[in-house]
Amino acid sequence: MLLDVRIICSCVNHVDGTVYVPHPNYLADNEESSLSEHWEDVWCSSCGKDYKVYIAKTFNNLKCHLNDTSVGFDYGTPYENEESALSQYNLDEYLEVFSNQVNSAEKIINLDVSEDIEFNLLVMIHGHVVAAIEGYLASVCMKKIIESDDLMRKLLESDPDLGSRTLTLKSLYQEKDKVEETITKYLDKLIFHKIDKVKPLYKSVFDIDFGNVRWLFLAVKLRHDCVHRGGYKTNGKKVEMDRDCTIALIKNARALIEKIEYLLKEVD
Ligand SMILES: [Zn+2]
């Protein structure tokens, strides 16, 4: 969803902007823990002043305020774009792949199956949805970073593994020529479900903050039991799978990718 905001700047210019409204955490079990927060910059084209708009969404509530309380600020009612949430953006190939994966998962989960089959079905779908997120996160990096000298530089300067590699002066020009190849190889090997690594990477390279994605850390953890032991923990016990939770996971996955797509438009 989007929200129109209006700031009466200290230069008296009226600044009209549109900000993104994050989805609540669908995996939360109460109103309070469903909180999703988002900050967005709105800029006055007349005097150049930068404002930060804060948007907080829970299941039932929306809060929005401005970092500067000395100026006038107002906002409207959040609205959905006419087209469905994800299709409003230009469909890159990787986005199409992701949409197909989660849409299929959603269709499969709604099939009528007996109780003994359902556990296995949810285990498979869980692994599939996490893999869809992982695939999307990897494809965006591969495509966007390699295309842009600026983003390659940001990655080199911020990544602790890549940036700390040493080189000798005599290899300087040689290394400079193959920097694209070095980065491609590095991203190719990077495991994109390591969220503790990928979250800061997105922040430093694209300036995209995933926000609180504890649900994703937990989903990746559960994924190991799903894909390596077919839904059993190392102690031999069954993992807990629940149809509603898997549906909520799909919604969270879509919400995260929708937010990234929205914020990537500012990088382009
Ligand atoms: Zn101004």
Question: pLDDT for 79-91, tens place per residue?
Answer: 986 654 555 555 6
The Å distance, Cα 173 to ligand 1 centre, comes to 46
Per-residue pLDDT 10s for the chain (268 aa) are 999 999 999 999 999 999 999 999 999 999 999 999 999 999 999 999 999 999 999 999 999 999 999 999 999 999 986 654 555 555 688 999 999 999 999 999 999 999 889 999 999 999 999 999 999 999 999 999 999 999 999 998 998 888 778 878 888 888 877 888 989 999 999 999 899 999 999 999 999 999 999 999 999 999 999 999 999 999 999 999 999 999 999 999 999 999 999 898 876 6
Instruction: Answer for the pair 200, 256: CB distance below 8 angstroms, yes or no.
Output: no
What tokens does 202 get?
């997105």
Task: Tell how far the Cα of 11 is from the centroid of ligand 1, in angstroms.
Answer: 4
CA dist 178 and 240 (Å) reads 47
Give the distance (Å) from ligand 1 centre to CA of residue 3: 20
Computed over every residue of the chain, the mean pLDDT equals 91
Three-class secondary structure of residue 94 per DSSP: helix
pLDDT in tens, 26-52: 999 999 999 999 999 999 999 999 999
Residue type, 198: V
Query: Residue 1 C-alpha to ligand 1 middle, in angstroms?
Result: 26
Query: What is the Å distance from ligand 1's center to 44 Cα?
Result: 5
How far apart are the CA of 158 and the centre of ligand 1, in A?
Answer: 33
